[in-house]
């Protein structure tokens, strides 16, 4: 059973924001630039998790295999660079906060942090666009955290900086890296089944605090931080 928490650490993609529209457009722009097959939004959704380099590698499919890279000269890093530049320019065009998230962040009295595998530039651009940057006491991103999730290093650094214990902290996320980072850090995790992570991949990890909607997430977090 969950007890009172003083620090909430949020994931970003799929947890706080529905970023799929902008991610899919950027992925397909980069794939098209190199003459690679494109994907619909729902297919791109299955590639999300573990950072943008993994997103591009999965999106490239067989084109990312070493033998095909040797044949074409098109590397994952090259496609990722085109993707990243385009995404940075357009990352706020189709992205929206998930239902109830902004209201919760503005009303909660708990301390709030963010731990995301997303790079720092688009992360801060999104937070500033939605006027939420000042709401987060600590923000660690894929290129600023000591190690990306599922490593516990980012959570441990945030807790050390905040001066709070694992028992006072809760991680909120929607995919395997969030569950595993929290578990590896000895922190409770609230797991969303309506985000980008597939329930078929999440449930075998036996997450202890599962919510099926953003309304349920906000209600649970309110109860933990009163």
Told to judge if 143 belongs to the known catalytic residues of this protein, a careful annotator would answer no
Number of H helices, E strands in the chain: 11, 8
| Given 11, 174, 175, 188, the catalytic residue | 11
Q: How far apart are CA 101 and CA 49, in angstroms?
A: 21
Which ranges of the chain would DSSP assign to H, the alpha helix? 20-33, 41-45, 52-60, 66-72, 76-90, 101-107, 120-129, 153-162, 176-185, 199-202, 214-225
Q: How far apart are CA 197 and CA 163, in angstroms?
A: 30
Say which residues have a Cβ less than 8 Å from residue 3's Cβ, sequence separation at least 6: 167, 224
Q: What is the dihedral of CA 142, 210, 98, 196, to 10 degrees?
A: 50
Catalytic residues, by residue number, are: 11
């Amino acid at each position: 059973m969950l007890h009172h928490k003083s620090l909430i650490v949020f994931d970003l993609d799929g947890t706080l924001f529905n970023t799929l529209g902008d991610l899919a457009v950027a992925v397909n722009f980069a794939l098209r630039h190199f003459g690679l097959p494109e994907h619909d939004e729902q297919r791109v959704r299955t590639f999300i998790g573990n950072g943008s380099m993994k997103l591009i590698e999965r999106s490239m499919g067989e084109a990312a295999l070493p033998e095909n890279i040797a044949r074409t000269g098109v590397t994952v890093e090259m496609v990722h660079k085109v993707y990243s530049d385009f995404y940075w320019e357009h990352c706020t065009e189709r992205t929206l906060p998930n239902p109830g998230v902004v209201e919760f962040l503005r009303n909660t009295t708990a301390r709030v942090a963010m731990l995301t595998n997303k790079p720092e530039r688009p992360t801060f651009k999104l937070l500033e666009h939605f006027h939420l940057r000042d709401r987060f006491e600590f923000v660690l991103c894929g290129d600023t955290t000591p190690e990306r999730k599922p490593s516990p290093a980012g959570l441990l650094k945030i807790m050390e900086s905040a001066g709070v214990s694992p028992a006072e902290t809760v991680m909120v996320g929607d995919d395997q890296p969030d569950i595993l980072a929290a578990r590896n850090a000895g922190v409770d995790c609230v797991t969303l089944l309506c985000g980008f992570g597939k329930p078929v991949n999440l449930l075998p990890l036996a997450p202890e605090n599962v919510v099926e909607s953003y309304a349920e997430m906000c209600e649970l977090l309110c109860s933990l931080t009163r």
